[in-house]
Amino acid sequence: MELIDTLSLREKKFAMTKLMILDKFISLIKNKEFNDISVKEVSKYLDISEKTIFNYFSSKDEIIIYFIQLWYIEMSLLSSNNECKSNIKCILNIFLSTAKLIQNNYNLMAHIISLHALSNKEVQKNIAITRAEMIIKFKTSTLLPKGGFKEIIMSLLKKAYNNQELKLNEDISLTYIKLHNIFYGTPIFLNRSNIDRLPDLYNKLVNEVLN
């Protein structure tokens, strides 16, 4: 039996509608700044009522938080991928996967990066991800440990050090800070006009820190 067949029709409908709202919002933000998009515009674009959207999200900010949480789950899955071959390779895969996201939707990722840069408390809010959403979005029902970029990268760095993949002449937290600055700072430095250079720069800078 497929995992999706273990879900009730109600569970599937709820999860699919929630993910559909997110996907359509992401499509809107490709061509408009986040602050210029209203919930009314989203509802018109989706051809559903604002009330329906509010059944899933209390605000458009919550849609972004939901995306961030799904993004972290994707990072967690990448970090546990057996095809990585090494913890360092997993770290690099997270950076390169993020580069594709940023290239595909600069406005969305620029807004998320600015929230992190400002240590916005909204980013720290938790939106429950249901088992149905995990199955439909990621084809897995595995519950992953909670954590964001810092927890995921620090865990990989520690495992890389313990497995002797990584030789550090500094505290591991300093290595994390360097990677954090590369992750969030490089897209801002490049700006939209040069964002096609992001994968190569990520690859170069991450390897300089870890090798």
CA angle 98–101–105, rounded 5-degree value:
145
The reported pLDDT for the residue numbered 127 is: 79
- Per-residue pLDDT tens over the stretch 47-97: 899 999 999 999 888 999 999 999 989 988 888 877 678 999 999 999 999
- Residue 9: which CATH number? 1.10.357.10
Q: Pull the structure tokens for residue 110.
A: 């620029």
Domain count, the chain: 1
Q: Pull the structure tokens for residue 56.
A: 């899933």
pTM greater than 0.85 (yes/no): yes
Output phi, psi for 146, to 5 deg.
-70, 145
Q: Which amino acid is at 75?
A: M
Q: Which amino acid is at 56?
A: Y
Report the percent of the chain where pLDDT is more than 70: 92
For residue 46, what are the domain limits? 3-210
Exposure string of 29-67, with b = 16+ CB inside 10 Å and e = fewer, is: beeeebeebebeebbeebebeeeebeebbeebbebbbbb
Q: Pull the structure tokens for residue 128.
A: 């429950």
The yes-or-no verdict on residue 123 having pLDDT over 60 is no
Q: Pull the structure tokens for residue 23.
A: 């996907």
184, 169 in Cβ contact below 8 A?
Answer: no
